Amino acid sequence: MLQGRPDEMAIINRLLEGARNGMSGALVLRGEAGIGKTALLDHAVEAAGDLRVLRGAGIESESGLPFAGLHLLLKGTLDRIGALPQRQAQALRGAFGMAAVLDGDRFLVGLGVLTLLADLADERPVLCVIDDAHWLDSASAEALLFAARRLEAEGVVMLFGARDVHAPSFAAPGVAELRLAGLAPEVAARLLAEHAADLPRYARDRILQEARGNPLALLELPAAQREGQFAAEPYAVRVPSTFSRIQQTFADRIATLPEATQTLLLVAAAEEGGDPATVFAAAGRLGAGLADLEPAENKRLLVMTDERLVFRHPLIRTAAYRSATVSHRLAVHRALAEVLEGGRRAWHLAAASTGPDEQVAAELERHAQSARERGGHAVVAAAYERAARLSADPRERGRRLAHAARAAADAGQLDRAAILADDAAALIADPVARAMVAKFRADLADERSSATFAHQFLAEAACAVAGHEPDLAADLLFSAVERAWTVGDFTAVRAAADQALRLRLAGAPRIGELAGHIAALSGAEPEARLNGTGDGAAEAALAVRLLLDRDLSAYPRGLRESAKITWWELLLGDYRAAHDQAVSLERESRAQGAIGVLPRALMLLARTQLWRGAHRDARANAAEGLRIAHDIGQTHNLVFLRAVLAHLAAIEGDQERCGELTAQIMAHGTAPGHTRATAITALLDLSLGRHDAALERLFEAVQGPNKLVTVHSLPDLAEAAIRAGQPDCAHDAARRYAGWAHHTAHPWAHAIAARCQAMLNGGDDAWARAVHLHRHQHDPPFERARTHLLYGEWLRRQQRKTDARSPLRSALEVFEQLGAKPWAERTGAELRATGESLPSRTQNLDLLSRLTPQELQVAKLAATGLSNRDIAAQLFLSPRTVGYHLYNAYPKLGVTSRGELPALLNPARSAREGHSTDAPSGVGRHR
């Protein structure tokens, strides 16, 4: 029975009981070495009773071997992998080296782990225990934490034990933590009395002082005292840390063992799985064997259990490995390499190397290439990096570091990738190869929200490569102009264009044209304008058109490139094209398991859905993207996803939610984010009748350089200015928006421009034109409703109450469907002023509003006929969690089975019409 841990045991017991009732949970136990993490994990295993227990651990000597920890945990369930969805099964087989080829993504492994645990829990609840999680290899940690964060209703408990200090960090965002402190003095004294009654009182008092409530110290220091290895002296000059004291105690006890037993312990410490055959085979090469195990067993250091060699405590393994001499450790790794094959052999050869060794580096590179084919990006990064460090030739070192950097980026390790890429750039001499690394570094800078340096990388590389590959140099400088524009560095924009002229590149005129438009819209260097209008919004449209008209045929259209093109379509206002591309991008990201791209895809899809009036779908997709971006550390995408949610909150009049989200955007510190947050807040002000506040915010925002961010707010500025009595400001905003509409040529943009003119000039003809232009099939419903509202208000002011009712009814219907409460209230007040009021038409929409974003996504996918398993694969959930959300959704929707969902959600109508307030999240035609 554990002493002094009743609260901690109660928390674990509640998690276990929850699993028995079909719920799931995850918990990280944190604390110093010996504080009781392992004992609490042992308690969980004992209390599990009827649960299926999977137990694993992180192992220091194997922390560089990707998926080693995951394999150790799941090796008893490998026969169940075949029942998983195909892509998930392939991912797990690839991670464990059971498949020759796999085109996977690291997060597919995590999804496979989640589904596997859920499948096991279908038979009986599951407890996963992972001790020494701080020593897990990064690939295993990512997969396990990915699964832990998505546990909901599977009947699975995951417990991690992680050391606080004297060990690598084990970051587990999104997973609950329980931090363990030392035992209370009275409990510590009682525990020591039970285990050290034979020691004199002064010795026990000194041990209590040394242990500081650490349970392992209370148990081990008395043994050391009896063996004469711990002097309980009352006047010690220096008191080592508890960790050091315990580890030294274990090291001292190991030192008293026969030499052959010490060798056997060292081999077991260096071998990750505790496989007796491997350990004894390697130990035999060093003169140790089975008979040498007995002294370690007698001292309770190493035992054989469940056909594995297991250290009684993780610190014993650490002490056995670290207390050995360097030459002894190298000999052990060489012996293990001799009895192993494949990747494990390569890693032990690397561990046995003391300097550059091209033969070992080449073997590690072959292992990296094999891992790449199996989709193990983290494996590839680690193997290439180690191979690079073993490379004597600087050119080979640079090449391998570049490969390591790309693999680290694919694995989502952006900071590590940046360091590796910087190291590679310093070693690579070939100009073309350096240019490719520069493009990669620029992309990394964007993803890491440090785009200030991106254009510098590109400009430097263009200069170096111009004499060999002028077309490549032009492409680099074109990209440099784009990146400099993104961060508002207009001096760098002009410098890149001038550089293209100096290098006499064939693409120089096009680069100069792009730079000229950017200079004009920023208000800088007006003499540099080429074919411009002098209007910032129009120049922005022309600049983005140049980006889209660029010949990209020479570049592969991967998911990230498709996402960039979709983003440009959004900037240009081509929401129809952007929506089609975003749907495809989201579909392909899910199909490929490319969760690193999925947040961006969901953001793009949500923005197009917001514009098309599918607000509930936009919210669901943005919420999912936000959750995934948090999970994988994509801070850059968080700003854009929050902006979608803030925009929705502004339209709906949710001041608290809008303020919370815009504050988070502002805290990110980027100028475009500040501008977007300001524009969204101004829209909320406008909806609530705070016209002066809206005018003040928008007037400041549109003067800045981020014209592409504020162009859609120019109509808001015009309306706020008119209502605030500032007609000159309204005329200027309307003129600038009309210029942008002219150059984009979108019917909906012409309709909004006509609305601005009608607000300024009035008259039946002006309003008739605005209303007529809004009849396009792909018109944004919110903007159409605003035009109808303003037209109805104008008609009522003209005392034409009967004529005003039709546009006001139309506006009210759309505002109610969109949940735009302040706009609906304003429209309703206008209708009442005409002598008419209408009942709400939102019965079905009110039903849908009861669902959480995830319940809505699950219900819509279920309405298309997908099984729970298919839905789970697309939403990165477990099938049981999907069933749980459906179970909760049915009573909210007033249905009893999934067969009733199609009629209620009506996805077929959404697919036919192309847009709707209830359009499914890209799930109709393409799934």
Model confidence pLDDT, tens digit, residues 99-123: 644 434 567 788 899 999 999 999 9
- pLDDT-derived band of residue 669, with 50, 70 and 90 as boundaries? low
Decide if pLDDT at 193 tops 90.
no
Residue of 836, 777, 782 whose CA lies nearest to 805: 836
pLDDT, residue 188, reads 85
Range of lowest pLDDT (38-52, 188-202, 600-614, 688-702): 188-202
Please answer whether residues 266 and 320 qualify as being in contact, where contact means their C-beta atoms are separated by less than 8 angstroms: yes
pLDDT, residue 105, reads 57
pLDDT, residue 579, reads 92
SS (H, E, C) 132-169: CHHHCCHHHHHHHHHHHHCCCCCCEEEEEEEECCCCCC
Cβ partners under 8 Å of residue 790, min gap 6: 719, 755, 758, 759
Residue of 258, 265, 299 whose CA lies nearest to 282: 265
What length is written for the chain? 927
pLDDT, residue 103, reads 39
At 642-655, the pLDDT tens digits run 999 999 999 999 99
Cα(560)–Cα(589) distance, integer angstroms: 10
Mean pLDDT of 363-379: 73
Decide if pLDDT at 854 tops 70.
yes
Mean pLDDT of 246-271: 88
Range of lowest pLDDT (192-201, 279-288, 835-844, 898-907): 835-844
Range of lowest pLDDT (53-57, 114-118, 233-237, 344-348): 233-237
**Residue 684 is encoded by which pair of tokens?**
């909320």
pLDDT, residue 545, reads 63
Side chain identity, residue 315: L
Give helix then strand counts, H and E, for the chain. 48, 7
Q: Averaging pLDDT over each range in 135-149, 500-514, 897-911, which range is the top one?
A: 135-149
Decide if pLDDT at 253 tops 90.
no
Cα(600)–Cα(496) distance, integer angstroms: 28
Cα(848)–Cα(895) distance, integer angstroms: 12
pLDDT, residue 373, reads 61
Mean pLDDT of the chain: 82
Residue of 590, 517, 589 whose CA lies nearest to 549: 517
List C-alpha distances in Å: 844 to 841, 847, 860, 906: 8, 5, 14, 11
Beta bridge partners of 25: 157
Q: Is the pTM of this model over 0.85?
A: no
CA atoms within 13 A on the CB side of 315: 26
Cα(757)–Cα(718) distance, integer angstroms: 9
**Rg of the chain on CA atoms, in Å:** 33
At 466-495, the pLDDT tens digits run 877 888 888 888 878 877 777 667 788 888
Decide if pLDDT at 839 tops 60.
no
Mean pLDDT of 594-618: 89
Percentage of residues of the chain with pLDDT beyond 70: 84
Decide if pLDDT at 25 tops 90.
yes
Mean pLDDT of 831-852: 68
Decide if pLDDT at 402 tops 80.
yes
pLDDT, residue 658, reads 95
Residue of 597, 621, 559, 618 whose CA lies nearest to 108: 597
At 38-71, the pLDDT tens digits run 999 999 999 998 899 999 998 877 777 778 899 8
Please answer whether residues 874 and 114 qualify as being in contact, where contact means their C-beta atoms are separated by less than 8 angstroms: no
At CB < 8 A and 24+ separation, what contacts does 399-405 make? 399/424, 399/428, 399/433, 400/361, 400/365, 401/427, 402/428, 402/433, 402/436, 402/437, 402/440, 403/368, 404/380, 405/381, 405/437, 405/440, 405/444
Please answer whether residues 128 and 117 qualify as being in contact, where contact means their C-beta atoms are separated by less than 8 angstroms: yes
pLDDT, residue 850, reads 79
The full set of domains in the chain, from first to last, is 6-179 (3.40.50.300), 185-240 (no CATH), 257-333 (1.10.10.10), 353-429 (1.25.40), 588-843 (1.25.40.10), 846-913 (1.10.10.10)
Mean pLDDT of 758-771: 90
| DSSP H/E element including 52 | strand 52-57
At 292-312, the pLDDT tens digits run 999 999 888 888 876 788 887
Percentage of residues of the chain with pLDDT beyond 90: 33
pLDDT, residue 367, reads 82
Mean pLDDT of 624-648: 86
Please answer whether residues 408 and 395 qualify as being in contact, where contact means their C-beta atoms are separated by less than 8 angstroms: no
- pLDDT-derived band of residue 864, with 50, 70 and 90 as boundaries? confident
